[in-house]
Amino acid sequence: MFTHVMIGSNDLERARDFYDATFAALGGEPGEIDARGRLIYAHKGGRLMITKPIDGNPATAANGGTIGIAAASRDHVLAWHKAGTTRGGTAIESPPSERPNGAFVAYLRDPDGNKLTARSQPTK
């Protein structure tokens, strides 16, 4: 359904440090800066793009928005969460935990305040 998700950042190098670490924890590749100065992560047909807002105003996090990131296992979710909290992210909501359907989930805010979740597939 989606081609990509675009979020804003006020500091692309800080964002790159955070996302390179969290995606590496999930087996992903480092991001690349395109000709327009956007930081791009691509994996299995999905793309996360990070940019300074084109209107020149500061980037702000979406109120009520969450970006969900697929993880292969509980261990990947835990590694993602640890990488994020050591690279400027903030642990939010509940600690990483298993849900009643067997999915293992964790939540973070990136250094710009965007809400993220990594989750493994449900087992039930």
- What DSSP string runs through 15-48? HHHHHHHHHHHTTPPPPEE-TTS-EEEEETTEEE
CB neighbours of residue 72 within 10 Å: 11
Which CATH architecture describes the domain 5-52+65-120? Answer: Roll (3.10)
63 pLDDT band, cuts 50/70/90, is confident
- Checking if the pLDDT of 78 tops 80, the result is yes
Structure tokens at 58: 């500061």
- Checking if the pLDDT of 124 tops 80, the result is no
pLDDT value at residue 123: 82
Nearest Cα neighbor of 63 from 5, 115, 119, 9 is: 115
1 pLDDT band, cuts 50/70/90, is low
pLDDT value at residue 100: 92
What does DSSP assign to residue 64?
T
Higher pLDDT, 94 or 107: 107
Stated pTM of the model: 0.91
| Domain positions in the chain | 5-52+65-120
Total residue length of the chain = 124
pLDDT value at residue 62: 87
- Checking if the pLDDT of 64 tops 90, the result is no
